[in-house]
Homo-oligomer: A and B are copies of this chain.
Amino acid sequence: MSELVSDVLAGKHSALARVITNIENRAPGYREQVSALHRHAGDADVIGVTGSPGAGKSTLVDKVAAAYREQGLTVGVIAIDPSSPFTGGAVLGDRIRMASNAGDMDVFFRSMSARGSLGGLSTATTDAVTALDAFGKDKIVVETVGAGQNEVDIVRTADTVAVLVPPGSGDDVQMLKAGILEIGDVFVVNKADLDGADRTVQQLKEMLQGRSGRPDTGHHGTISGTPGDGETRSADRTGETGDWDPPIVETVANRGDGVEAFLDALASHADYLDRSGRHEHQARERYAAEIRTLLREDANGLLSAELDRRGGLDGFVDDVVDRETDPYSVVDELLAPLRDCLAEDRESHHG
């Protein structure tokens, strides 16, 4: 085991930061580091938080991190900004939020941006979560902007996904399209003191009814953080069917309103995952998906290197342009060695 990995396992934050930088940059040795760390991971709760820009994710995540700290839990936050690889946006956000957690290194905050492909960022997020998990963080929050397919992939690294919706944004329709509705385990209407919050809650309820594909049984109750509000809590709402009905939580994060209710909803979902066996099922699905992704990426890397060795595509493209061959025939030719090799491998195992 490398010294860097030992240092991470020994709880050194500087080593953790360096490993995540290696992961982000695909620096030499990062695979072996993640491999070694994986053997020590698996105990953290991973919470994904997504929503459009301006929904108040950062503020809510900061409050959640502070609340967990008060419970004596350790927290890691990874903020992903897929849209702006080179702008200072992520860095600026970083500074502001580091200040709000100043002096409290048990909230380890780290932003990651899209240096490589977005697909790669999804893998990098998974690896960073593994590092935080092996380090020993109790709660890991993965925060990402937006509602596109890439964000959906990123946030899927989480056990529990919270989707933030600002009131009156009309974003619900956008989210529905992008499939965010399907992956939300908990919905948060933040800035619930603004005009239009009630309408947004109502729209969300209707959309979630559509999602469950069954008549409204009144299960989509709102959990309000306002004291004295007597609405049904999410924990009570899942016992009968074994299904999870995503609760809608109203918060005003900058005042701290509704944060406890949000934590309760997260805890209920974690409890549901354990009781129902969904937790292990999700983990298995994630690992299978991760292996498939890595398999694709690595195989493509090998093929690209092979193609380069054979002088690249230019000669083939010449022949395609001249109509002497065509893309399908070119690919058949290029993959012939791989086909032969797999066939030989099969035969040698049979013989």
Interface on A for B, CB 8 Å cutoff? 31-32, 34-35, 38-42, 83, 149, 177, 280, 283-284, 287-288, 290-292, 294-296, 298-300, 302-303, 306-307, 309, 313, 316-317, 320-321, 323, 326-331, 334-335, 337-339, 341-342, 344-346
The one of B295, B326, B338 in contact with A341, judged by C-beta atoms closer than 8 angstroms, is B338
| Chain B residues positioned under 8 Å from A291 (CB to CB) | 313, 316-317, 320, 327, 330-331, 334
| Chain B residues positioned under 8 Å from A32 (CB to CB) | 328
- Tell me if A345 and B334 are in contact (CB < 8 A): no
- Tell me if A299 and B335 are in contact (CB < 8 A): yes
- Tell me if A306 and B38 are in contact (CB < 8 A): no
A42 to B337, CA, bound (A): 30
The one of B39, B295, B327, B339 in contact with A294, judged by C-beta atoms closer than 8 angstroms, is B327
| Chain B residues positioned under 8 Å from A290 (CB to CB) | 327
A40 to B287, CA, bound (A): 46
A328 to B284, CA, bound (A): 15
Instruction: Using A302-B335, A346-B309 as known contacts, say yes or no to A317 and B38 having CB atoms under 8 A apart.
Output: no
| Chain B residues positioned under 8 Å from A326 (CB to CB) | 34-35, 38-39
Kindly report which residue of chain B lies nearest to residue A293, judged by CB atoms: B327
- Tell me if A337 and B345 are in contact (CB < 8 A): yes
- Some 23 contacts from A to B, beta carbons below 8 A apart, are A31-B328, A34-B328, A35-B326, A38-B327, A41-B323, A280-B321, A283-B321, A288-B313, A288-B317, A290-B327, A291-B317, A291-B327, A291-B331, A292-B313, A294-B331, A295-B331, A295-B334, A299-B335, A302-B335, A302-B342, A337-B341, A337-B342, A341-B341
